[in-house]
Amino acid sequence: MAKVMITETVLRDAHQSLLATRMTTDEMLPIAEKLDKVGYFSLEMWGGATFDACMRFLNEDPWDRLRKLRDKIKNTKLQMLLRGQNLLGYRHYPDDVVEAFVAKAIDNGIDIIRIFDALNDIRNLEVAIKATKKYKGHAQGTVVYTLSPVHNIDTYVDMAKKLEDMGCDSICIKDMAGLLTPYTAYELIKKMKETIKLPIQLHSHYTTGVADMTYLKAIEAGVDVVDTAISPLALGTSQPATEPLVATLQGTPYDTGLDLDLLNEIAEYFKKVREDHIKKGAIMTTEIDTRAFKFQIPGGMLSNLVSQLKQQNALDKYEEVLKEVPRVREDLGYPPLVTPTSQMVGTQATLNVLTGERYKMVPKEIKDYVKGLYGRPPVPISEEIKKKIIGDEEVVTVRPADLLKPQMDELKKEISAYIEQDEDILSYALFPQVALNFFKQRQARKYKIDSDLVDFNEKVYPA
H or E element in which residue 55 lies:
helix 50-57
Residues 440 and 389 in one domain: no
Say if residues 11 and 70 touch (Cβ distance below 8 Å). Answer: no
| CA atoms of 297 and 356, how far apart (whole Å) | 22
Q: What's the pLDDT score for residue 450?
A: 56
280, 306, 331 — which closes off a domain? Answer: 280
Q: 417: domain range?
A: 406-447
Residues 243 and 380 in one domain: no
Nearest to 362 by CA among 331, 396, 334: 331
The total domain count for the chain is: 3
Residuewise pLDDT in 10s, the chain (463 residues): 689 999 999 999 999 999 999 999 999 999 999 999 999 999 999 999 999 999 999 999 999 999 999 999 999 999 999 999 999 999 999 999 999 999 999 999 999 999 999 999 999 999 999 999 999 999 999 999 999 999 999 999 999 999 999 999 999 999 999 999 999 999 999 999 999 999 999 999 999 999 999 999 999 999 999 999 999 999 999 999 999 999 999 999 999 999 999 999 999 999 999 999 999 988 887 889 888 888 877 766 777 788 788 888 999 999 999 999 999 999 999 999 988 999 899 999 999 999 999 999 999 999 999 999 999 999 999 999 999 999 999 999 999 999 999 999 999 999 999 999 999 999 999 999 999 999 999 998 887 765 554 444 344 444 3
In a domain, 108, yes or no: yes
Residues 236 and 263 in one domain: yes
Residues 40 and 181 in one domain: yes
| CA atoms of 15 and 21, how far apart (whole Å) | 5
The secondary structure of 380-425 as a DSSP string is PPPHHHHHHHHTTPPPP-S-GGGGPPP-HHHHHHHTTTT-SSTHHH
In a domain, 256, yes or no: yes
The CA distances from residue 7 to 114, 146, 348, in Å, are 12, 22, 35
Q: What's the pLDDT score for residue 8?
A: 99
Q: What's the pLDDT score for residue 301?
A: 76
In a domain, 150, yes or no: yes
Task: Looking at 74-136, list the stretches that DSSP marks H as alpha helix, in order from N- to C-terminal side.
Answer: 95-107, 126-134
217, 246, 280 — which closes off a domain? Answer: 280
SS3 5: strand
Residues 179 and 204 in one domain: yes
Nearest to 200 by CA among 164, 162, 221, 172: 172
In a domain, 291, yes or no: no
Rg of the chain over Cα atoms, rounded to whole angstroms, equals 22
CATH of the domain at 119: 3.20.20.70
Residues 228 and 102 in one domain: yes
Say if residues 355 and 349 touch (Cβ distance below 8 Å). Answer: no
In a domain, 289, yes or no: no
